[in-house]
Chains A and B, each alone.
Chain A
Amino acid sequence: MPKKLLLFLLLICSTGHLYAQVRYTLSGYVRESGSHELLPGVNIYVPALRSGTVTNNYGFYSLNLPQGSYEVIFSYIGYQTFTTEIIFDQNRDLDVQLKGSISLSEVTITAEEITRNSENSQMSLMVLPIQQVKNIPALLGEKDAFKALQLMPGVQKGSEGSSGMYVRGGGPDQNLIILDDAPVYNANHLFGFFSIFNGDALKSIELTKGGFPARFGGRLSSVVEMTMKDGNKNKMSGEAGIGIVSSRLLLEGPLVKEKASFIVSGRRTYIDWLIRPLMPRDEKFGYYFYDLNAKMNYEFGRKDKIYLSGYFGRDKFSIVDRNNYYDEFDNNQYSSEAGLYWQNSTSTLRWNHLFNNKVFANTSIIFSRYILSIYDKEKDRYGSYSLKYYSGIRDFAFKYDLEYHATPVYTLRTGIQSTQHRFTPSAIVEKDSQELENFDYKTIYDSFESGLYFENLFNFSGTAQLNAGFRLSHFVTDGEQYLNPEPRLSFNFIISEGFSAKASYAEMNQYIHLLSNTGIGLPTDLWVPSTERVMPQNSRQVSAGLARDLNNPGLSVTLEGYYKWSKNILGYRPGASFLLIDDPSDARNFTWQDNVTSGEAQSYGAELLIHRKSGRFSGWVGYTLSWTRLKFDEINFGEYFWAKYDRRHDLAIVAIYEISDRITLSGTWVYGTGNAITLPQAEFPEYNFNPLHELLKENNTNPGYYYYMQSLTDYGSVNSYRTKAYHRLDLSIQIHKQMKHWERTWEFGLYNAYSRKNPFFYFIDETYTSNGSISKLKQVSIFPIIPSISYNIKF
C-alpha cells in the first residue's frame, strides 16, 4: 500500500512529464448495432496500459494514449464485447457498434464486461440495467423503475406499495429526478402505488446517493438520472403489452434512415372503461392514468446531433352526477361534475456538438410542469356554482455542459444551468350565480435558480482517480437571494487490480421544498420556494468505502459507510395540515410559512451491495444498516427523534435465472425494520384555566357555565413506536417464444407470495360494549398475495 501511494504521488508530480510523450486521441460514439441507439456507460479498456474510460450520457468517448499499437475492448452489459487492435500513430475517430447478446451461450462474463467500479472515482452510484428492471417481479405486473431502485442498498421505500424513495435518510422531495435533463416534480401515479417510469422508453437509469459530482445540484439526498431511448434508426420496431392494470405500446423507427429516428411510448389504465357500464346511468365515477413518452433526433453529421424529447402523464379521478329530485314546488334537475387531476409534462431540446475529438458540448433547453387541479361544477334550477382549485410548479431552464478530455490524466467538465421556477401553491376561482361576490385568488412566486460548476477529473490509470469539483449555486426569490459554494470531492485509490478504496465529500443546497401531509403520498403535496423566512436546506455528506470487482463470477461488491448532516430541513409544526381539498376556498388564508419549521437531521449507516449484472444467473443482494434522527425546536419539545423512515435493517435479495432461452425465473425477497410512528398511548383531561374567571369567581355567583373539555392525548415521544417488520417475497416466470414476425412473452407473477400481512398503517379501533368503550390497536395491510398475468410482444 505505501508503495502504491508513493507511486500515486509520483504520478501527480510527473503529469507534466507524461504529456511530453507523443500521444494520440481515439474518440467516437458507441451505438447499438441495428437500432444505432447511442449507448451511455460503455466500458472502453486498454489492457496493456490498464487504462480506459466510459462513454458519456450521449454515447461519446475520448481516449488519449501514447504512440503504439494496442488492443482496445468495448464492452457493455447485455451486449457482445467488441475487441479491436488499433495502431496509434495519429488521432483517430472510431465509432463502434455493439451487438446485443442473442443467446445464453453468448453471454459470457469477462473482466472487462463488468463496469469496473474499482476504477471509477464516483462512489454511491447505482447503475441499474433496464433489462433487470423488466425481469424482476412487480406489483400487478406493472414494471416500475423506481421500485427496482428501492431494492438497492441505501434506498428505502415509504409505505407498502409506494414508489417514493427515501435515500440515506432523506425524504422523497430531496431526490432530483431527471428525465433527459428535465426535472420531474411528481413521479407518482395512483397515490404513489406506481411510478411514472415503467422502463419501456428508458435507455439508462442511474442513482447517485452520495459523492455527488459538481454537475448535479438542487437536492440534498439523491439524483436519479434517466435517459430516454433515441429510437431505432434502421427499421420500424416496437413492443406492446397487456396487463391487469394497463396496456402499453412502444413504436420506434427511422425518419431519415441512419440519420433521424423517433420513438413513441404510451401506457394507459382501463379500469374506468371496464367498470363504467356497471355503474348507474346518472352517476358515473372514473379513474385513469396514462403516460406518453416521445423523442426524435436528427444527426447532422458526426459533430452535431439534435434531440427533442418529451413526457406527458396524467392521473384523473372524476365523478359525474345527473339526478332529478323533487322539491315542494317542482321537479328539479340537478347535475354536478367534480374531479381531481394531476399531470406532469416535460420537454427537452438538446444539441450535442463535438468541437474536436477532445471537446464535447451539450446544450439543453428544458421545460417542466406539474399541476394539480380540483374542480367542482354544480347546476340546478336555482343557479350554478363552479370552483376550480389549482396548484403547481413550472420551470423553464437553460443548461450548457462542456467536456474537455485534455490529457490522458486530466478531463475537465464544466457547465452552467439556470432555471426560472414559477410556483403557484394555490390558485382558486369560485363563481356562484346566487352570490354577488365571486373570487379569483392566486399566490405566485417567481424564482431563479442557477448553478455554475467545474469538475476536474484526474485519472492515474491503475493507481487512482480523483474528481475535485466545485459548484456555485444561486437562488433568487421574492427579493431574497442566496449564494452558496458547494465543494465536491471524490477519490478512488486502487489497492490492487479490481480492488479499491474510495472516499468522497459533497455539500448540497436545496432551494425548493415540498409540503406534504403525514404518511400519505397525495398529489396535493405542494412545491414552494425558499423565502426570507424559509431558508434553503443544506447537507454535507462524507462517505468512504471499498469496491471489489471479481472477474469470476463477474461480481461487483461495494461496501460503503456514510455520515450526512442536514440543516434547515423542513418539518411541520404540530397540528399543521396542508390538505386544501378539505375546503379549497381556504386557499385564500393559506399561510404555509406559518406551518413549517426548520431543524436538523443526522443520517449515518453502512451499505453492502453484491451485484451481478448479467449472465444466466444475475441479480443482487443489498443490505443497509442505518440510523436517521431529526431535531426541531418546535417538534418533540426540541429533543431528537427517529425519522419516520429510520430503518435499522434493510435487506433485498434479487435473483434472475434464465433457465433457457425460453424461460426466465425471477424472485425478490425484501426485509425492513418497521417504521417509526407516533402512537397515542394514553388520554388525559384538559385544563381550561382562565385567569379572568379565577380572579372574579367570587362574584360569579352562578358558575354553572362550563367549557367544553376535551380528552388530550399522550403520545410519548415523537415516532417512539415501531410498526411490525416488513418482509415480502415476489416471484415471476417469463415464457418467451420467437414467432415468425415477433417475440412474445407471457409473464405470470405473484406479489407477496406467502401473503405476509405487512403494515400499511395503524389505527385505533374503538369497540363499544355494555360496560363502555374499549380501544384496540389495529394494523391495516393492503396487499395480500396478488397474482398477475401479462402478455407482451416485441416486433
Chain B
Amino acid sequence: MRIKNWLISTIGVLLFTSCNQLITEVDPPQSTPKLVVYSVISPQDTLIEVKIYKSHPLFSGTPYQSYENKFPPLTNATVLLSGAGKSVTLLYDTETETYTIDAQLFNITPGGQYELKVMAPDLQQVTAECTVPPDTPPAVEITHMGTVDNYDTDSWYMEFNFKDLKGEGHYYTVNMGTFYNNNPWTDETYLIDMGFKGEQLITDKNMDESVYKYKSYPINLEMITYNFIWISLSLVDENYYKYKQSVNSFQGDNPFSEPTPIFSNITDGLGMFAGINTRLTRVEVER
C-alpha cells in the first residue's frame, strides 16, 4: 500500500507541478433526472412492492447533503402493473415508502409475464417487462452439520449443496440467515445474515447440471436463538442476475479499474424489474 501511495503521489507531483492553472472547468454531459424503478416480484409474495426514486444528475448544480437527501422516494408517481390479462394500479404507502398492492389482488404465477409502467410529473414515462422463472428451485441437500471451536466459543457450521436444473439459462441466488433475540424479556427478533463459502449469484452458462457446494462460516451457537436457520434458494431471471452482477462489480471512483455500468431493464429509466421464485429450507440445529 505504501508503494502505491508513494507512486501515485510521485505521478501527481510529476503531472501537476504547475497545477492550478492547468485545471479548468469544462462543460459536463447534459443529463436530466430519470425515473429509478425497483421491483422484484415472486409467487411467494404476500405484498407486491415497487420502489421509485429519481436519479440525481451529477452536474445539476443542486447541492445535496446526505444519501436520503439525494434520493428521496418519489411519492407522486402512477404505477401500473399488468399481466395475465389484468392490470392494477399500485398505491403509495408512506410507512414502507413503496408503491404496493396485496398479492391476493394480483397473483404472481411461475412462468407469468408482467409489465410495469410508471409515470411521474416532469419525468419521462418508463416501462419494463419480466418473466417469473417457471421452474421450482431445486431442493437443497444438507450434507454435514457440526460444531467447531472458534476463538474459544462453540460455533456451529453446516455444509449443503444443490444441483442445477436441467437445461441452460438458469440463474440462482443463495442466502442464509437465522433469528436472534438478544433480549429474552421481549419478543424482538433480528434476522441475521450468515456468511458462507460458495457462489451466491450463479449462472449455469456452460455449467449445466453442475452441483454447487456451500459451507457456512462458523456462527456462535449463542446467536442461534431459536435452534434453526433458514436457507433460501431462488431461481431468478436474467434481469436480477445482471443487475446484481453489475452492482457487485461496481468500483465507485476507483481510477485504476474499468467503469462499471449498472445493468437496467427499465426502458428510458434506471433500475430493475425482475421475477424470482424461491424455495425456503428450514434447518434444525442440534446443540
Contacts and interface: CB of A to CB of B under 8 A. Distances in A.
Interface string A692-731: 1111111111111100011111111010110010000000
A689 B36 CA distance: 15
B55 interface: yes
A518 B258 contact: yes
A684 B21 contact: no
Among the interface residues B2, B27, B276, which one has the most CB atoms of the partner chain A within 10 A?
A: B2
B22 A781 contact: yes
B26 A724 contact: yes
B63 A772 contact: yes
Interface stretch (B38-46, B110-118, B150-158): B38-46
Contacts of B280: 692, 695-696
Contacts of A20: none
A574 B10 contact: no
B28 A718 contact: no
Contact of B15 (A695, A700, A782): A782
Given A317-B7, A684-B36, A687-B51, A574 B260 contact: yes
B188 to A, nearest CB: 5
Given A682-B31, A687-B51, A581 B7 contact: yes
Contact of A710 (B175, B243, B252): B252
B34 A714 contact: yes
Given A338-B2, A340-B7, A784-B22, A715 B189 contact: no
B191 A682 contact: no
A712 B70 CA distance: 12
Interface stretch (A124-132, A362-370, A673-681, A739-747): A673-681
B38 A689 contact: yes
Contacts of B261: 574, 636-637, 678, 715, 718
A583 interface: yes
Interface residues of B toward A: which range?
Answer: 35 or more
A681 B31 contact: yes
A696 B191 contact: yes
A94 interface: no
A777 B234 contact: no
Contact of A577 (B179, B187, B232, B254): B254
A700 B189 contact: yes
A584 B251 CA distance: 19
A470 to B, nearest CB: 35
Contacts of B27: 777
A584 B3 CA distance: 10
Interface in B196-215: none
B189 A682 contact: no
Nearest to A688: B247
B144 interface: no
Question: Interface centre among A692, A710, A759, by most B CB within 10 Å?
Answer: A692
B259 interface: yes
Contact of B256 (A518, A584, A686, A760): A518
Interface in B117-158: none
Contacts, number: 235
A574 B2 contact: no
B26 A340 contact: no
A430 interface: no
Contacts of B185: none
B191 A693 contact: yes
Nearest to A786: B18
B53 A685 contact: yes
A769 B29 contact: no
A685 B36 contact: yes
Contact of A575 (B3, B10, B249): B249
A612 B263 CA distance: 53
B33 A682 contact: yes
Contact of A780 (B7, B23, B63): B23
A374 interface: yes
Contacts of B24: 757, 778-779, 781
A17 interface: no
Contact of A695 (B33, B252, B256, B278): B278
A716 B55 contact: no
Interface in A265-308: 285, 287
Contacts of A779: 23-26
A691 B250 contact: no
A691 B171 CA distance: 14
B70 A575 contact: no
A517 interface: yes
Nearest to A375: B3
A338 B34 contact: no
A683 B53 CA distance: 11
A256 interface: no
B281 to A, nearest CB: 11
B105 interface: no
B187 A682 contact: no
Contact of A714 (B59, B230, B251, B270): B270
B44 to A, nearest CB: 6
A260 to B, nearest CB: 43
Nearest to A720: B29
B40 A689 contact: yes
Contact of B70 (A285, A376, A683): A683
B58 interface: yes
B259 A699 contact: no
A572 interface: yes
Contact of A684 (B56, B242, B259): B56
**Residue from A690, A694, A764 whose CB has the most chain B CB atoms within 10 Å:** A694
A191 B12 CA distance: 12
B15 A780 contact: yes
B234 A691 contact: yes
Nearest to B274: A689
B140 to A, nearest CB: 13
Contact of B26 (A319, A582, A711, A777): A777
Given A681-B29, A773-B63, A575 B258 contact: yes
Given A518-B257, A583-B1, A695-B44, A721 B29 contact: yes
Contacts of A691: 40, 42, 173, 175, 232, 234, 276, 278
A579 interface: yes
B256 A683 contact: no
Interface in B160-200: 173, 175-177, 179, 187-193
Interface string B49-74: 00101011111011111010111000
A48 B255 CA distance: 64
A713 to B, nearest CB: 7
Contacts of A776: 25, 28, 59
A685 B71 contact: yes
A338 B18 contact: no
A690 B257 contact: no
A9 interface: no
A720 B252 CA distance: 19
B250 A710 contact: yes
Contact of A319 (B6, B230, B258): B6
Contacts of A356: none
A616 B23 CA distance: 41
B3 A376 contact: yes
B16 interface: yes
B179 to A, nearest CB: 7
A378 to B, nearest CB: 9
With a 10 A CB-CB cut-off, give which of B15, B18, B38, B253 has the most chain A CB atoms: B15
B224 to A, nearest CB: 14
A446 to B, nearest CB: 27
A687 B271 contact: yes
Contact of B69 (A287, A374, A577, A772): A772
B132 to A, nearest CB: 13
Given A681-B57, A691-B42, A691-B276, 6 more contacts: A338-B2, A572-B258, A637-B263, A679-B28, A714-B262, A778-B26
26 contacts: A190-B14, A340-B7, A518-B258, A575-B249, A575-B257, A579-B4, A582-B256, A683-B71, A685-B53, A687-B51, A691-B175, A694-B45, A699-B191, A700-B189, A701-B187, A710-B252, A711-B71, A713-B252, A715-B261, A716-B29, A718-B261, A764-B58, A764-B253, A772-B64, A777-B25, A782-B15
